[in-house]
Amino acid sequence: MRFDLYNPTETHQAVRETVRQFATSELEAQAAEYDEKEGFNEALFRRLGSELNLFGLTVPEEDGGVGLDPTAAVIVLEEMSRSDPGFALSYLAHEVLFVNNFYYAANADQRRRYLPDVISGKRIAGLAMTEPEAGTDVLGMRTVAVRKGDRYVINGTKQFITNGDKGDIFILYCKLDEPKRKEITSFVVEKGPGFSAGRKEQKMGMRASPTTQLVFEDYEVPAENLIGAENRATMHMMRNLEVERVTLAAQSIGIALRCVDEMNRYALDRKAFGLTLTRFGQIQTYLANAFAETQAARAYVYDVAQRITREHRQSLDAAGAKLVATQMAERVARTAIQVLGGYGYTRDYPVERMLRDAILLSIGGGTIEAMQKNITRDLTRIYR
């Protein structure tokens, strides 16, 4: 039987078909509108849990999840991103940055208290890690939690938080006692007195996904909301980054696949000097290279996704897949605009939006430069 890299099982194929149908029938119809008004389609988002069962993909069935793997998450992000990468980014923050991360780091009581409402879509979630002066340098974060009896008091500001103003539950990374220490601690936190959303960012792309500050001012969190042990959050943060990076890469694949579709359809329909654009050598170069680059990156992303398990780290190739796919998506989206000419530069076609959305993916979850640094570090260990 032929092995299918992109749909390893019938269940994976069913997930793809479900998401593709949802994307073409519902996501596509609202994508341009919500991009234009920088809005978040909250009602549609909640249906991902309540109706489509797309939250909790990597959570075992006995704990209320779907019982699948990172490949399933890659499939969902790829298919959604062909229609609305911004909406898909909010899904990634909820499903990958919170649900997958929280399930494998939290204890049984924490899972029981928080996962059901997040998996059902009743509550929207996210991750609070980046700060105004700590992005790639994550250990430079300055948000601090101080233990006072049976509670911790938290002060600090988080920056560029996806779902920041719409979510009400987050995983928070911070330092204990003082910001100079290297160790990181994590909590599950809920909006309430002392914890609020700050300024909403006005962005170039991913405009259908809300991005805000999160502000903590003497915010008190119960000690039972500590995830794992004090000063021990770095390991589960890094493990989840591997899944985050391969799913961000999957978003890039979705964008590129859509752009390949758009430029080929346009080149077949559009004529110049009495010939379709597909008859011109330069256009052939654009179409062929875009297709080949997309397929090469797509194979890499799926290969890495299928090798990520809780027992086997894939930090080198997760970074590699993100590095390759995100740069590829920008090139392909820019090529699509060139093929479409003046029409590609307008909002009559989606390639303009796709390029704006693609640019974020080479920044979020680790910049291109950070991926190059991490890859070189891992290669040095291998070849030393």
- Which tokens is 160 given? 């560029």
26 is catalytic: no
The DSSP result for 306-321, as a single string, is HH--SSS--HHHHHHH
Cβ–Cβ < 8 Å for 231, 176:
yes
Q: List the Cα angle 11/15/16 in 5-degree steps.
A: 115
Element at 186 (helix H, strand E): strand 185-190
Q: Give the number of residues written for the chain.
A: 384
Marked catalytic residue, from 95, 244, 262, 293: 244
Helix axes 85-92, 234-269, angle to 10 degrees: 160
Helix axes 315-340, 281-307, angle to 10 degrees: 160
Pairing mode, if any, of strands 169-176 and 125-128? parallel
Question: How does DSSP classify residue 138?
Answer: G
**So which residues are the catalytic ones?**
244
